[in-house]
Amino acid sequence: MHRLRDLDRRQRLLAAGLVALLLVPFGASLGRAIHQAWLPSGDDALIGLRSLDVFSRHLPLVGQPSTSHLYGDKISTAHPGPIEFYWLAVPVRLFGAAVGMIVGIGLANLAGVLVAAWVVFRRCGATVGAWSLVLLGGVLWSEGTAVLTDPISSNAGGIPMLALAALAWAVADGDLRLLPLAALFGSWVAQQHLAIVAPAASLVALAVVGATVAVTVPWWRRRRARSTEAPPDDAPDAEPRDAPEAEPAGPRVWPWLLGAVAVAFICWLPVLWQQLTGHPGNITAVLDYAGSSDTAKLGLASGVRQAVRALGWPPLLVRSNLGGEDFFGAPLHPAEVVLGAVGYLVLVASVVTMWRRRRPIALLAGSALVLAIGGIYNGSTIPDSIESFRINFYRWAFVVAWLSWIVFGWLLALGASALIGRQDRTATVAVAPAALRRAAPVAAVLALLVPAVASAAVAGHDDQRRDQAGFRIMRRAADAAVAAADGKRRVTLVLRGQSAVLASGPALTMALSAHGHDVVLPAVEPRFYGSQRVLRAGDDPGDLILELVTGRGSVPPGPGHVILHDDLNSLLNQAMAPLVAQARSAPVEVAPDGDRLLRQHWKTDGERTYIRTILAKIAVTPEAVLSDPKLLAVIGDGYFSSPRFDRDGLASVRAHLPARTVNNDDVFEVRVLTRAQLAEEVPAWAKD
């Protein structure tokens, strides 16, 4: 084992510098969240609500609701476990909704990165440890800074999987003292999301098998040694001889085994309790969903394609702004096939050739292969739907790349040292010449400096937040709601509009709940908000009834006293108003040369068919059509013979683009209702 306290002063300074550079992306993530005025909305807010429930009698027992009801046999399931809610409970209570969630999940991800780096150092020493830190910088750059403080469950397991992979490898190599830590990270990763269960399970299985071998093989050898006794000295024609020396007993492992079992039991206790008391239990529902066969999936070929791209060209850890289509979409290029195949062949060869010579390298390569197999299965089962475009489902590929490139660099270092220096068979790595040893730390710092600076200086798609265009307007709406609720315990919140239901409504609910109000909502699903937050027919709505209404370009009229009206695109909507009226003034007719105009902008028949469908809705959703720059250009070229659009008006709209929206809505209004108005807006609530 290598220990940090055994490093000399120069090595400690180097380690501190590398870790400091590794912290830069986390600082950039936090700084961008503050600059964007981040607040929990949508699923993030629902996660925050569940964390508030930890200190109540409504303890969460499973994870967030999944979208499984949209596929297969329409079975409703939740993601495996509530571990994230329990982790966030304290920081959310201490620091509030926004700061508490950002800090809480940021610390969890930072712990995953630091534990991963520490485990590699512990097993392999400073040289390989420094190389793993450089590669971790590449992982953080490639995944983007937003994910580092993103609480959504489909992302929350991605970064900690680095630690799980390193721990599984170390345990398989016999480092059984790390078993409790492996149980903790294994539980965290596996409970986050159904789309990460298979990769997590493959690593957990590796750790379990490795620990079993590490415990049973020495025990069996000692047992055989004890059972072999020397023959008696007085036996005929027998020469006196000593009994074979028994293999010395190793360090006690049972405390670490019991510790791992205890950690796993505590982490999974809510899940087990729900399984025993639920009708059905969530584990049963998940298994039923997994067994449904009528869901169209990406398939095995796509899973293999994803694994190839983890090691293909260009290298994954130097790429950024990636989406799901970068893994499952498009045929593989020859360079991807060749380099991916070479990479996996090197891993297989490392397992075979290094098993007796340097077992840690062989097991590290084997860990990458095991995770790749789990990832292939995971990738093949992703529904062939809009879900497949989410980068969240492919986080395992970054971990495969990290493990693999540690192996590649380690092998190159051994080969280079064997060629140009003196090789020590007992050392973890070969002994390099003094000049190379002096240059290596500087090279490591410079190599890690590149992704660190890039993470802080470059803000791409991977650094953006969901709903970030509406953070400030949602915060103003939340502040207005909280101010109106001052001094009132129970608050009813009615949601109307797409953004109100999907994003801004949960944000207001979280804000009110974090300020100590009991919030209830009509016509919402209990599995999202909790049954205690559902306003049912005849229930007391409390002392304050609020309604959040959202729309595109305007909000529908309704009763109530308006306490906030805000518009994300006030100038754009003013310029668009005459065009909206024109869009609804006459029947929709396409000009004779409409197809020719479409061919100028879209190449494939599929694209043009989709665009025709969108343009045909111009009288129904004119704001959405007229705020798309490409659609606006086609309309300006005369795609419609009816209705006719004013060219100056089209130019004015174009000058105010791009539009800012949250779930396609840009106008937000908060109203205060009376009980009579609540009955008008929600007839199902009124008593018979």
pLDDT tens digits for 42-85?
999 999 999 999 999 999 999 999 887 777 667 789 999 999 99
pLDDT at 221: 72
Please state the rounded mean pLDDT for residues 178-189: 97
Please state the rounded mean pLDDT for residues 228-241: 52
What digits encode the pLDDT tens for the residues 591-620? 999 999 999 988 888 889 999 999 999 999
pLDDT band at 279 (very low <50, low <70, confident <90, very high): confident
Is the pLDDT at 130 greater than 70? The verdict is yes
CA pair distance 107, 618, nearest whole angstrom:
47
Terminal Cα-to-Cα distance of the chain (whole angstroms):
73
Mean pLDDT (the chain) is 90
Tokens of residue 459, six digits: 């803000």
Kindly give the pairing relationship between strand 518-520 and strand 640-642.
unpaired
* Amino acid letter, 50: R
What digits encode the pLDDT tens for the residues 289-330? 887 766 788 899 999 999 999 999 999 999 999 999 899 887
CA pair distance 69, 99, nearest whole angstrom:
33
Contact between 679 and 522 (Cβ < 8 Å):
no
Is the pLDDT at 229 greater than 60? The verdict is no
The pair phi, psi for residue 407, each rounded to 5°, is -60, -50
Please state the rounded mean pLDDT for residues 203-223: 85
What digits encode the pLDDT tens for the residues 77-97? 999 999 999 999 999 999 999
Is the pLDDT at 241 greater than 60? The verdict is no
CA pair distance 303, 306, nearest whole angstrom:
5
476: left (phi over 0), alpha (psi -120 to 50) or beta: alpha
Is the pLDDT at 250 greater than 60? The verdict is no
What digits encode the pLDDT tens for the residues 660-676? 999 999 999 999 999 99
Tokens of residue 143, six digits: 């995944």
Contact between 135 and 317 (Cβ < 8 Å):
yes
CA pair distance 241, 380, nearest whole angstrom:
62
Strand order, beta sheet including 561-567: 518-520, 490-496, 544-551, 667-673, 561-567
DSSP H helical ranges for 193-318: 197-227, 254-277, 282-290, 300-311
* C-alpha pair distances (Å), 634 with each of 577, 643, 650: 19, 14, 11
For the chain, the farthest-separated pair of C-alpha atoms sits apart, in whole angstroms, at 118
pLDDT at 438: 67
- Tokens 């915060």 correspond to what residue? 475
Q: What is the CA radius of gyration of the chain?
A: 30
* Amino acid letter, 338: V
Is the pLDDT at 248 greater than 60? The verdict is no
pLDDT at 444: 87
CA pair distance 517, 49, nearest whole angstrom:
12
312: left (phi over 0), alpha (psi -120 to 50) or beta: beta
Name which residue leads in pLDDT, 659 or 250. 659
Determine the Cα angle at 252 with ends 246 and 253, to 5°: 115
Contact between 300 and 380 (Cβ < 8 Å):
yes
Domain ranges within the chain, ordered by starting residue: 4-227+251-463, 468-567+665-681, 570-655
Contact between 297 and 384 (Cβ < 8 Å):
yes
Is the pLDDT at 4 greater than 70? The verdict is yes
- The per-residue DSSP string of 29-52 comes to HHHHHHHTT----HHHHHHHHHHH
Kindly give the pairing relationship between strand 640-642 and strand 589-590.
antiparallel
How many CB atoms neighbour CB 606 within 10 A? 9
CA atoms within 13 A on the CB side of 141: 26
- Tokens 């309309």 correspond to what residue? 635
How many CB atoms neighbour CB 232 within 10 A? 8
pLDDT at 71: 76
pLDDT at 435: 61
CA pair distance 54, 619, nearest whole angstrom:
48
Please state the rounded mean pLDDT for residues 629-639: 93
Which neighbouring-strand residues pair with 493?
546
Is the pLDDT at 218 greater than 60? The verdict is yes
Please state the rounded mean pLDDT for residues 9-36: 93
Contact between 322 and 349 (Cβ < 8 Å):
no
- Could you tell me which CATH class the domain 468-567+665-681 is placed in? alpha beta
The pair phi, psi for residue 464, each rounded to 5°, is -90, 155
Tokens of residue 300, six digits: 């095995």
Contact between 602 and 611 (Cβ < 8 Å):
yes
Which neighbouring-strand residues pair with 547?
494, 671
Tokens of residue 80, six digits: 């495996």
Q: What percent of the chain has pLDDT over 70?
A: 92
* C-alpha pair distances (Å), 76 with each of 68, 96, 160, 524, 688: 6, 31, 27, 16, 32
pLDDT band at 631 (very low <50, low <70, confident <90, very high): very high
pLDDT at 232: 54
How far from chain centre, in Å, is Cα 322? 13
CA pair distance 622, 581, nearest whole angstrom:
9
Contact between 470 and 553 (Cβ < 8 Å):
no
Q: Is 7 exposed, middle or buried (0-12, 13-18, 19+ CB in 10 A)?
A: middle
* Amino acid letter, 324: G
pLDDT at 603: 84
The pair phi, psi for residue 524, each rounded to 5°, is -120, 160
CA pair distance 511, 522, nearest whole angstrom:
18
pLDDT at 571: 95
Contact between 216 and 191 (Cβ < 8 Å):
no
What digits encode the pLDDT tens for the residues 369-388? 999 999 999 999 888 888 88
Name which residue leads in pLDDT, 235 or 461. 461
Is the pLDDT at 230 greater than 70? The verdict is no
Name which residue leads in pLDDT, 218 or 576. 576
pLDDT at 688: 57
Backbone CA torsion sign across 540, 545, 549, 554: positive
pLDDT band at 427 (very low <50, low <70, confident <90, very high): low
Please list, in sequence order, all residues whose beta carbon lies within 8 angstroms of the beta carbon of residue 322, skipping any fewer than 6 positions away: 142, 391, 462
CA pair distance 84, 54, nearest whole angstrom:
11
CA pair distance 674, 544, nearest whole angstrom:
8
pLDDT at 1: 81
Is the pLDDT at 182 greater than 80? The verdict is yes
Is the pLDDT at 116 greater than 70? The verdict is yes
CA pair distance 300, 68, nearest whole angstrom:
20
Which neighbouring-strand residues pair with 202?
none
Is the pLDDT at 243 greater than 60? The verdict is no
Name which residue leads in pLDDT, 239 or 255. 255
- Tokens 């950002």 correspond to what residue? 102
Is the pLDDT at 393 greater than 60? The verdict is yes
Three-state DSSP at 658 gives coil
Tokens of residue 375, six digits: 């990832």
Nearest C-alpha neighbor of 576 from the set 659, 636, 649: 649
